[in-house]
Structure 1
Amino acid sequence: MKSIWMHEHTREEISAFASGGGAILVPLAATEQHGPHLPVYTDTWIAGHIAEESVRAAGRDVPVLLAPVLPIGCSEHHLSFGGTISLSPMTYFAVLRDIGESLVKDGFRKIIFLNGHGGNEPMMQQVANDLAVRHPIWTAAASYWSLARESLQRIDASEVGPVPGHAGGFETSAIMALGDGLVRTDRIGATHPERDWIFAGPPGAFVGRHGELTGCDGYTDAPVRATAEKGRLYLDTIAEAVSGWIVRTVQAMDRGEERL
């Protein structure tokens, strides 16, 4: 294929790719407040970069296209801070379902969702499950931080704060790496009240409190240790982990097809 991006191909090229067994990855993100120092497009920039780099690398081993990034997510818990565009949970579920149904009609039999915003995860997982129930297709769904958890632990990414956190050291480092001048360094506080309960459970668990789902003042930790160099390391590490997962997932789907 001439490009990894679905939207750079014609309908005939996409149909041929899908009918030939090619997979498609749908990146999910958000447009929401990220404290006083980060742009509201933070999740979309990070998710889009990871998706592009991961598909580009995975495409050397398996046939996979990249759908346009969905920049609006389920961000109800951020609306009170302003600077946020959100879909309600049921609306977001319907949007993801319709995207999946469209891709099925386009001929795709391998649909992969890659998430970059925590509020999207429950609906994403359910839609992936429902699509595989309704149609004779393969689906997969995961958030990038889950796929890269062990890799990020090996490079001690949590030295800057919770991973991924929200608008803390981790995301601030990533945005520093992605765009010069996008971080309001003059608005970065030196300290942040501790909210240990936010991360009290094991991976996949949820602990919440009204009015504080995003930490104090809309972010989870003080990003004083964030640097662009660390951000580049984190993003490269995540992309490597995600691309490996894409390859293993598509290859497993192919082996499953052979057994049917």
Structure 2
Amino acid sequence: MKSIWMHEHTREEIGEFARNGGAVLVALAATEQHGPHLPVHTDTLIAGRVAELAVRGAGAEVPLLLAPVLPIGCSEHHLSFGGTISLSPMTYFQVLRDIGESLVKDGFRKIIFLNGHGGNEPMMQQVANDLAVRHPIWTAAASYWSLARESLQHIEASEVGPVPGHAGGFETSAVMALAPELVREDRIGTSHPERDWIFAGPAGAFVGRHGELTGCDGFTDAPVRATADKGRLYVQTIADSVSGWLVRTVQAMERGEQSV
């Protein structure tokens, strides 16, 4: 294919790719406040870059296209800070469902969602499940931090703060690497209250408190240890993990088709 991006192909090229068993990845992001020091498209910047690197890597082994990144998500808990565009949970669910239904009509039988914002995850998982119930297709869905958890632990990414956190050391490092001109280093907080209750449960568990779902002042930890070098390492590590998952997932789908 001339490009990994779905939107750079014609309708005929996309249809042929889908009919021949190609998969499509839909990256989910958000436009929301990220404290006083990061741009509101932080999640879109990171998720888009991770998805692009991952698809370029995986595309050498499996047929895969990348749909346009969805830059608006479910960010209700950020609205009080301003600088946020959000879809309500039910609206977002329907948006994802409509995207999936469109891809099915385009001929795709392998649809994969990759998430880059925590508020999107429940609806994403449900839509992926529903699509596979309604249609004779394969679906998969995951958030990038879940796919890269072990790899990020191996490189000790948590040294800068919770991973992924929100506008803390991890995300600030990533933006410093991807778009340093957008980081307001003069507004980086040097301290943040400890909130141990967030980590009271196992990975994947949710613990919330009214008014503090985004941390204090809209970020979860002080990003004083963030650096561009760390950000480059984090982004590449995540992309490598996602790429490996995409290859394994698409190949498993292909084996499943052959066994029917």
Question: TM class, shorter-chain normalised?
Answer: over 0.9
The equivalences for 1:145-184 within 5 A come to: 145-184=145-184
Kindly indicate whether residue 82 of structure 2 is the aligned counterpart of residue 66 of structure 1: no
For 1:40 and 1:61, the matched residues in 2 are separated by 34
Tell me the equivalent position of 1:82.
Answer: 82
Secondary structure at the aligned position of 1:27 is classed as: strand
Tell me the equivalent position of 1:209.
Answer: 209
Tell me the equivalent position of 2:100.
Answer: 100
Q: Partner letter of residue 187 of structure 2?
A: R
Secondary structure at the aligned position of 1:181 is classed as: helix
**Aligned residues of 1:198 and 1:213 also touching (Cα < 8 A):** no
For 2:32 and 2:229, the matched residues in 1 are separated by 25
For 1:171 and 1:29, the matched residues in 2 are separated by 13
**Aligned residues of 1:128 and 1:139 also touching (Cα < 8 A):** yes
Tell me the equivalent position of 2:11.
Answer: 11
Q: 1:70, CA displacement in angstroms?
A: 0.2
Structure 2 unaligned spans of 5+: none
Q: Partner letter of residue 43 of structure 2?
A: D
The equivalences for 1:181-196 within 5 A come to: 181-196=181-196
Q: 1:60, CA displacement in angstroms?
A: 0.0
For 2:180 and 2:228, the matched residues in 1 are separated by 9
Q: 1:212, CA displacement in angstroms?
A: 0.5
Kindly indicate whether residue 246 of structure 2 is the aligned counterpart of residue 246 of structure 1: yes
Q: Which moved more, 1:184-193 or 1:71-80?
A: 184-193
Q: 1:200, CA displacement in angstroms?
A: 2.0
For 1:153 and 1:88, the matched residues in 2 are separated by 33
For 2:73 and 2:200, the matched residues in 1 are separated by 25
For 1:189 and 1:107, the matched residues in 2 are separated by 49
Q: Partner letter of residue 178 of structure 2?
A: L
For 1:199 and 1:235, the matched residues in 2 are separated by 23
Q: 1:199, CA displacement in angstroms?
A: 2.4
String of CA shifts for 1:3-41, please: whole Å, max 9, x gaps: 000000000000000000000000000000000000000
For 1:82 and 1:205, the matched residues in 2 are separated by 27
Tell me the equivalent position of 2:117.
Answer: 117
Could you list the runs of 4 or more consecutive aligned residues of structure 1 that deviate by over 4 angstroms after TM superposition?
none
**Aligned residues of 1:148 and 1:242 also touching (Cα < 8 A):** yes
Q: Partner letter of residue 213 of structure 2?
A: L
For 1:200 and 1:148, the matched residues in 2 are separated by 21
Tell me the equivalent position of 2:234.
Answer: 234
Q: 1:179, CA displacement in angstroms?
A: 1.0
**Aligned residues of 1:72 and 1:87 also touching (Cα < 8 A):** yes
String of CA shifts for 1:126-181, please: whole Å, max 9, x gaps: 00000000000000000000000000000000000000000000000000000122
Tell me the equivalent position of 1:56.
Answer: 56
Tell me the equivalent position of 1:42.
Answer: 42
**Aligned residues of 1:198 and 1:215 also touching (Cα < 8 A):** no
For 1:228 and 1:258, the matched residues in 2 are separated by 45
What is the percent sequence identity of the aligned residues?
85
For 1:179 and 1:126, the matched residues in 2 are separated by 33
Q: 1:52, CA displacement in angstroms?
A: 0.2
Q: CA RMSD in A?
A: 0.5
